[in-house]
Amino acid sequence: MSVGVRRALPIAAPVRVILLAFGLASAPGACATAHTTASANPRATPSNTTIASTEPPEDTTAAPAHVAKELPRGGRTLFPDHRLVGFCGTPGAPALGALQGNLATITKTLEAQAAHYAKGRKLLPVFELIAVVVQGWPGPDGKYRRRVDDSVVQDYLRAARQAKGLLLLNIQPGQSDFVTEVKTFEDVLREPDVGLALDPEWAMKGKQRPGVFYGQTTGAILNEVADYLSKIIADNDLPEKPLVFHQVNREVLSGESESELTSHPGVALIKSVDGLGPVHSKIETYDYLMKTMPHGVHPGFKLFFDEDVRIGHGLMTPSQVLALRPQPEYVMYE
């Protein structure tokens, strides 16, 4: 389907973050035995004889108890205790969201916006960094995407940790694919406070160009990414991680039925409805797309500081967002 360019497409750069993992070892204690002097009378014990102990001494160097890693604000599971509220963006591209520029200032704005969404849940701030950015030109490898530099991921992770929040790596694969791009971030995904967000509308097929056509993905591909993330969680004893997929219409995702889109241990799958326009139009899109949401998938909703105001003549209020049914568990602003 041919569409107009929804947002300006930014510029180019490379990728990947390597973090170190540390282990603990304990050293066993040593025990010594004393020499025993023989007695002429085997039943008698001379006063100057030392008896060897048959019991080893107490080991005082036992390894410390394992402490399970938790989410930034405590606990091991996201829902139903938390509501995630986040900003999206990438450095040097204001058109792609507010999360760029002075991260300390943006964090204060994010926390003030998130405060409106408490309503019976603990808030968990989210920094959704577009880590693989779709491009309007093929680039050196012809994939129509660029990966942000590893130092950018470090900067955003540091900001998220200062706010006791989560970092989500948003993937817009262009003519690459989700699994390939996600795996380039394996090291940082081993951290307990890093999750993923996938943007199917920018997953192009064949010779499609971003901004001219909508991309598409499948439930099978979402399952493949979720399986990969689930294994990282199990291998590293991590708390639950969010895996968001942004959906602008039904065409960008096929195979979404409960038999095709399955659950994965440790992964909280979130369907974030991603429509532009007036309030009534956004609500209609949300209602329509939520009808196809499988059991166990969590609802999310996306708002646009620029387009919703410019095209829709106003940004939905937190009260309007919380009035949606099902009530969004992840609210993201771009």
More confident residue, 28 or 50: 50
In the structure, what pLDDT confidence band is assigned to residue 34 with cuts at 50, 70 and 90? very low
Q: What is the pLDDT of residues 255-264, one digit of tens each?
A: 988 778 899 9
pLDDT at 276: 84
Q: Report the predicted TM-score, pTM, of the whole model to 2 decimal places.
A: 0.81
CA distance 233 to 237: 6
CB–CB of 157/120 below 8 Å? no
Return the pLDDT at 281. Answer: 93
| 85-129: pLDDT as tens digits | 999 999 999 999 999 999 999 999 999 999 999 988 999 999 999
Domain boundaries defined on the chain: 82-333
Q: Write out pLDDT tens, residues 187-221.
A: 999 999 999 999 999 999 888 899 899 999 999 99
pLDDT at site 66: 74
Identify whether the C-beta of residue 132 lies closer than 8 Å to the C-beta of residue 93. no
Long-range contacts at 65-69 (CB < 8 A, ≥ 24 apart): 66/237, 68/237, 68/239, 69/192, 69/236, 69/237, 69/238, 69/239
Predicted pLDDT at 277: 84
Read off the pLDDT of residues 274-311 as tens digits, 9 standing for 90 and up: 988 899 999 999 999 999 888 999 999 999 999 898 88
Distances (CA, A) of 227 to 81, 116, 141, 251: 24, 34, 28, 24
Cα–Cα distance for residue pair 65/212, rounded to 1 Å: 56
Query: Residue 64's pLDDT is what?
Result: 63
pLDDT value of residue 20 = 28
Question: Tell me: the pLDDT tens digits for 65-82?
Answer: 778 899 999 999 999 999
Architecture of domain 82-333: Alpha-Beta Barrel (3.20)
Tokens of 98: 């507010």
241: confidence class by pLDDT, cuts 50, 70, 90: very high
Average pLDDT, the chain: 85
The secondary structure element, H or E, covering residue 126 is: strand 122-134
Q: What does the pLDDT average to over 144-167?
A: 98
DSSP 143: -
